[in-house]
Structure 1
Amino acid sequence: MRISPVEAQNADKQIQTVYKSLREMYGTELNPLKVLAHRPQIMRAVMNLYGAIHQHSDSLSDELKELISLRIAQINACRDYCVPMHTYMLHKLGTNEEKIRALVRYATSDLFSESEKVALEYAERITVPSTMVTDGLFERLKAHYSDVDIVELTAVISTLNFWTKFIDALEVPLDDVFKQQPAAHV
């Protein structure tokens, strides 16, 4: 880890409250948030955004959001933290192992619906700098998703790109809780 984490005993009361919530949810404080705690106002803003995009949605499934998250982690080579974490989350949601392993070839896999395929392609186009979201892709996206859904998808994709870059740049180690399942690698 390139930046030392803010441990609970050194955190202010607001951060300690956040850590308590994390321990209740995950059984531990999460390493990326312990690093982000150096700037509490940024930590709170990022947590609010992450919480908002990961609230249950009527039209975007939690599984789709995690598949997108895992695909972004694979593309951005966030193998030491993000790939195992999102693999763990997909297992927790009950996603089939075969589908998780097929994610790198989703475009040709029968395990993914057309709406999942277009959402994953959209995530790739936003994530890979040399590609772009074409009008054709956007029209295909609109055939499956409402404007509200597309805004939510874009927020999920953008936020996950932030996390993969943050975690990778600072070499944040994987929390033990996410080491319980095999990771789906590129």
Structure 2
Amino acid sequence: MPRVTEITDDGGDPTLKSIFDKQREIFGDLLNPTKVMAHCPPILRAAQLLGQSIEQSGQLPKALLPLIYLRVASINGCPF
């Protein structure tokens, strides 16, 4: 049982609606960190922008990113 409730409904918030719609389109559902960070939409948006900035920075080869994601998921025990 999670200690922090997960938010799965955008409640009419345009920021959450945009993010929720995109994640459901890409992944089929919302990712758990999104459901938790949805308690504060500005923080959720900032976290997503940080992730996008890292991906688009060019500091890591694009072909390496999926391997990094897989390795981090494995370290964290996530069946991703």
How far apart are residue 42 of structure 1 and its match? 1.2
How far apart are residue 61 of structure 1 and its match? 2.9
Q: Tell me the residue number matched to 1:30.
A: 31
RMSD: 2.4
Amino acid paired to 1:78: N
How far apart are residue 51 of structure 1 and its match? 1.4
Q: Tell me the residue number matched to 2:76.
A: 78
Q: Tell me the residue number matched to 2:60.
A: 60
SS at match of 1:18: helix
Cα deviation digits, residues 103-156 of structure 1 (max 9, x gap): xxxxxxxxxxxxxxxxxxxxxxxxxxxxxxxxxxxxxxxxxxxxxxxxxxxxxx
Identity of aligned pairs, percent? Answer: 34
SS at match of 1:60: coil
TM norm structure 1: 0.36
Structure number with larger C-alpha Rg? 1
Q: Tell me the residue number matched to 2:42.
A: 41
Structure possessing the higher relative contact order (Cα contacts under 8 Å, 6 or more residues apart)? 1
Distance change in 2, residues 1:49/1:9 (3 Å): closer
Q: Does 1:8 align with 2:9?
A: yes
Distance 2:65 2:12 in 1: 31
SS at match of 1:4: coil
Cα deviation digits, residues 163-184 of structure 1 (max 9, x gap): xxxxxxxxxxxxxxxxxxxxxx
Alpha carbons 2:16, 2:38 under 8 Å: kept: yes
Number of residue equivalences: 79
Show the 5 A alignment for 1:28-177: 28-55=29-56, 57=58, 60-74=60-74, 77-79=75-77, 81=78, 84-85=79-80
- Unpaired segments ≥5 residues, structure 2: none
Distance 2:32 2:12 in 1: 14
Distance 1:68 1:53 in 2: 12
Distance change in 2, residues 1:56/1:25 (3 Å): farther
> Whose helix proportion is higher, 1 or 2?
1
Amino acid paired to 2:41: P
